[in-house]
Amino acid sequence: MENNVFEGFYKKTINERLQILKLFSNLQESEIDLLKVNGPLSIESADKMIENVFAVHCLPVGLAVNFLIDGKQKVIPYVVEEPSVVAAASNAAKLCYFSGGFQTGADKSIMIGQIQFLEIKDIKKAQKQIEDKKEELIQLSKTEELPMVKYGGGLIEIQTRVIESSYGPMLIVHLLVDCVDSMGANTINTYLEFFAPKINEMIGGRAAIKILSNLSIYRTAWAKAIWTQKALEESTKGAIKGDKVLDLILEAYEFARVDPFRAVTHNKGIMNGISSIALATGNDWRAIEASAHAYASLNNSTYQPLTKYYKDKDGNLVGEIKVPLAVGIVGGSTTINPTNKICLKILDVKTAQELSRIMAAAGLAQNFAAIRALATEGIQRGHMKLHARNFAAAAGADSNLIDRVSRMMIEQNKISLDNAKKILEELKSKNN
Ligand code: MEV
Distance 368 CA to ligand 1 centre (A): 10
pLDDT of residue 288: 98
CB 415 within 8 A of CB 387: yes
**Residues of the chain by 3-state class (helix, strand, coil), percent to 5:** 50, 20, 30
List per-residue pLDDT tens for the chain, 432 residues long. 568 888 888 888 889 999 998 998 898 998 888 888 878 899 999 999 999 999 999 899 999 999 999 999 999 999 999 989 999 999 999 999 999 999 999 999 999 999 999 999 999 999 999 999 999 999 999 988 899 989 999 999 999 999 999 999 999 999 999 999 999 999 999 999 999 999 999 999 999 999 999 999 999 999 999 999 999 999 999 999 999 999 999 999 999 999 999 999 999 999 999 999 999 999 999 999 999 999 999 977 799 999 999 999 999 999 999 999 999 999 877 778 888 999 999 999 999 999 999 999 999 999 999 999 999 988 777 677 778 888 888 899 887 888 899 989 988 888 889 999 999 999 888 876
Pairing of strands 220-227, 317-324: antiparallel
pTM of the model as a whole: 0.89
Q: CATH second-level architecture of 382-431? A: Orthogonal Bundle (1.10)
Ligand 1 atom closest to Cα of residue 371 = 9
Query: Which tens digits make up the pLDDT trace of 125-140?
Result: 999 999 999 999 999 9
134-150 burial, b for 16+ CB within 10 Å, e for fewer? eeebbeebeeeebbbbe
CA dist 144 and 148 (Å) reads 8
Ligand 1 atom closest to Cα of residue 379 = 10
The closest residue, in CA terms, to atom 3 on ligand 1 is 269
Kindly tell me the burial class for residue 346, based on how many C-beta atoms sit within 10 Å of its own C-beta (0-12, 13-18, 19 or more).
middle
DSSP 67: E
CB atoms closer than 10 angstroms to residue 12 = 15
Residues in CB range of 165: below 8 A, 6 or more apart: none
Judged by DSSP in three states, 217 sits in coil
Distance 383 CA to ligand 1 centre (A): 11
Distance 337 CA to ligand 1 centre (A): 30
Residues with catalytic function? 82, 268, 284, 383
pLDDT of residue 2: 67
The closest residue, in CA terms, to atom 7 on ligand 1 is 266
Distance 265 CA to ligand 1 centre (A): 6
Give CA separation, 411 vs 9, 173, 376, 382, 385, in Å. 53, 63, 21, 14, 11
Ligand 1 atom closest to Cα of residue 272 = 2
Quick one: fold of 110-213?
Alpha-Beta Plaits (3.30.70)
The closest residue, in CA terms, to atom 9 on ligand 1 is 266
Q: Which residues line ligand 1 (CB under 6 A)?
A: 82, 265-266, 268-269, 272, 370-371, 374, 379
Query: Which tens digits make up the pLDDT trace of 93-131?
Result: 999 999 999 999 999 999 999 999 999 999 999 999 999
CB 117 within 8 A of CB 206: yes
**Residue ranges of the domains in the chain?**
9-49, 63-106+220-377, 110-213, 382-431
pLDDT of residue 117: 97
CA dist 207 and 187 (Å) reads 19
Give me the CATH code for the 63-106+220-377 domain, please: 3.90.770.10
**What is the phi/psi pair of residue 416, to 5°?**
-155, 165
